[in-house]
């Protein structure tokens, strides 16, 4: 007779108002055992697991002391169990990779029973995020990725600052968003044989923590995450097809090597948008560059109902004696080498003001985290094109450097000349200093 799923409580509905629940779940990850000294100086031990049920609900559970003794061995990744008699508390966002508002703790009262393999519970729940959207995430971010291994380094053993022996291996993943990012694998995963990484296999990596490193972004696969090599899931098939049907020869936007930070940006006077507004309204204003921390709020895609061009086709021939392309506007049958270049009107916002700025190619690439050809590729589908742009709204603070110059008349031309992700650590220190200066001043 078929099992009645409703006999078990849905994980998604667990809260601290729930009484007398029993859940039936699969263990999808398991941490190592940690020992600790609690506040009243008692020694304790704990490990945690992630649990998935047949409705796709996920929750983190921590098992303490007696529960470790009773169930520590039994709970293994991939196996199914029923759990009851645990305590619910609001999840600590700092330590949970799952979206559930609550998490479970189990101690001496816990009831855990091994269940038969339950095929209606998935073995893993993935929330795969393409690499281009990783560029726009608030950091640190926890993501699941599906990409082609485009390169890998040898495993490297070293001792960490606090004396731990570690082995890491860096790989570079790329996906059909034409982006790539370096990801660090650790210990056993790092020490898989080289041949596992050869021949551009598709890998799914679950629970990658993404952080700012240097000028770019880098991932690190957490202990409780997962590494799947050439899995048969639709996302893997899609990425594999992209790679074999031209992706392998495409230019990739690297998140890890400062691709968005390349080139010489003018470093402007630190300002906010209202400072720029004031400066640009002054008649005596001479050319000046400002740097502002702000967000991209909107791109003007329509004007009085009319769709606006977002890029133009430019000549890419190199000028004589110059390494720069001439960038002359050409028609679509242009006889020189042509490439799309952005020309956008963007509204940028900070905490107190917002302003529309003409945003040319280099700056627009930074503001949108995308290449002009990626937008042009969608030219048959205006809605998809605009959706791709909307994706970047408010996603990431940008430093905007801006020169002001004249166009012969007294009218001041204000433009965005460069946009790049804010280095959060540096910016955080800057803000802290501002606060402490204010305290001193008061």
Partner DNA sequence: CCCCCCCC
Nearest to 117 by CA among 55, 49, 27, 56: 27
425 touches DNA (CB under 7 A)? no
Cα 367 from Cα 253, distance rounded (Å): 14
Cα 314 from Cα 326, distance rounded (Å): 8
Kindly tell me which of 212 and 377 has the beta carbon lying closer to DNA. 212
# residues contacting DNA (CB under 7 A): 38
The CA–CA distances, whole Å, from 295 to 36, 316, 354, 397, 413 equal 42, 30, 9, 5, 21
- In which region does residue 417 sit, left (phi positive, over 0), alpha (psi from -120 to 50) or beta (all else)? alpha
Residue with tokens 């098992």: 63
360 touches DNA (CB under 7 A)? no
Yes or no: say if 47 and 71 are a contact pair by the CB < 8 Å rule.
Answer: no
Q: Least distance from C-beta 189 to DNA, angstroms? A: 9
Q: What mask of x and - would describe binding to DNA in positions 195 to 214, judged by CB under 7 A?
A: --------------x-x-x-
Q: Least distance from C-beta 74 to DNA, angstroms? A: 18
Residue from 132, 168, 295, 365 touching DNA (CB under 7 A): that is 168
Contact stretch for DNA (CB under 7 A) within 26-34, 296-304, 308-316, 400-408:
26-34
Cα 230 from Cα 224, distance rounded (Å): 20
Residue from 179, 184, 392, 395 touching DNA (CB under 7 A): that is 184
Q: Furthest-apart CA pair in the chain: how many Å?
A: 86
The continuous run of DSSP H or E covering 29 comes out as: strand 22-30
Residue from 32, 199, 234, 309 touching DNA (CB under 7 A): that is 32
164 touches DNA (CB under 7 A)? yes
Structure tokens at 160: 């960490």
Yes or no: say if 290 and 402 are a contact pair by the CB < 8 Å rule.
Answer: yes
Residues of this chain, 374-403, that bind DNA according to CB under 7 A: none
Residues of this chain, 73-132, that bind DNA according to CB under 7 A: 87, 89, 92, 95, 97, 103, 105, 107
Cα 109 from Cα 86, distance rounded (Å): 7
Residue from 36, 394, 406, 430 touching DNA (CB under 7 A): that is 36
Structure tokens at 317: 């021939």
Residue from 3, 16, 22, 44 touching DNA (CB under 7 A): that is 44
Yes or no: say if 176 and 145 are a contact pair by the CB < 8 Å rule.
Answer: no
Q: What mask of x and - would describe binding to DNA in positions 51 to 70, judged by CB under 7 A?
A: -----------x-xx-----
Kindly tell me which of 110 and 372 has the beta carbon lying closer to DNA. 110
180 touches DNA (CB under 7 A)? no
Residue with tokens 């166009």: 407
Residue from 177, 220, 343, 359 touching DNA (CB under 7 A): that is 220
186 touches DNA (CB under 7 A)? yes
By three-state DSSP, how is residue 277 classified? Answer: helix
Residues that bind DNA (CB under 7 A): 31-32, 34, 36, 38-39, 44, 46, 48, 62, 64-65, 87, 89, 92, 95, 97, 103, 105, 107, 158, 160-162, 164, 166, 168, 184, 186-187, 209, 211, 213, 218, 220, 222-224
């Amino acid at each position: 007779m078929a099992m009645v799923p409703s006999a078990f409580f849905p994980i998604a509905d667990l809260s601290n108002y729930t009484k007398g629940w029993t859940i039936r779940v699969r263990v999808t990850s398991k941490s190592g055992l940690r020992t600790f000294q609690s506040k009243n100086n008692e020694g304790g031990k704990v490990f945690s697991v992630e649990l998935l049920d047949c409705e796709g609900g996920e929750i983190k559970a921590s098992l303490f002391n007696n529960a470790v003794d009773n169930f520590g061995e039994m709970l293994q990744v991939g196996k199914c169990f029923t759990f009851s008699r645990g305590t619910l508390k609001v999840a600590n966002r700092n330590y949970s990779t799952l979206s559930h508002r609550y998490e479970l703790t189990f101690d001496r009262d816990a009831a855990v029973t091994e269940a038969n393999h339950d095929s209606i519970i998935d073995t893993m729940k993935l929330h795969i995020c393409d690499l281009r959207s990783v560029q726009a995430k608030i950091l640190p971010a926890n993501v699941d990725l599906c990409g082609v291994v485009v390169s890998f380094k040898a495993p490297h053993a070293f001792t960490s600052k606090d004396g731990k022996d570690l082995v890491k291996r860096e790989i570079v993943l790329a996906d059909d968003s034409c982006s790539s990012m370096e990801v660090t694998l650790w210990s056993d995963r790092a020490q898989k044989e080289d041949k596992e990484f050869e021949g551009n296999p598709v890998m799914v990596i679950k629970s990658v923590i993404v952080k700012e490193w240097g000028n770019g972004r880098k991932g690190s696969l957490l202990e409780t995450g997962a590494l799947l090599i050439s899995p048969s899931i639709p996302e893997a098939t899609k990425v594999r097809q992209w790679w074999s049907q031209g992706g392998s020869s495409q230019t990739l936007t690297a998140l890890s090597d400062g691709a968005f930070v390349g080139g010489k940006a003018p470093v402007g006077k630190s300002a906010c948008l209202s400072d720029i507004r004031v400066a640009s309204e002054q008649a005596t204003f001479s050319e000046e560059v400002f740097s502002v921390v702000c967000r991209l709020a909107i791109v003007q895609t329509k004007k009085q109902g009319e769709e606006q061009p977002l890029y133009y086709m430019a000549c890419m021939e190199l000028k004589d004696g110059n390494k720069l392309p001439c960038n002359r506007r050409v028609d679509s049958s242009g006889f020189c080498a042509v490439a799309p270049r952005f020309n956008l009107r963007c509204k940028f916002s900070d905490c107190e003001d917002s302003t529309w700025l003409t945003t040319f190619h280099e700056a627009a690439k930074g503001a949108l985290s995308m290449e002009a050809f990626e937008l042009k590729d969608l030219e048959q589908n205006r809605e998809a094109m605009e959706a791709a742009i909307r994706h970047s709204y408010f996603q990431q603070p940008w430093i905007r450097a801006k020169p002001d110059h004249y166009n012969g008349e007294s009218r001041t031309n204000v433009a965005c000349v460069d946009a790049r992700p804010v280095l959060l650590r540096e910016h955080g220190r800057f803000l802290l200093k501002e606060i402490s200066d204010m305290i001193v001043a008061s």
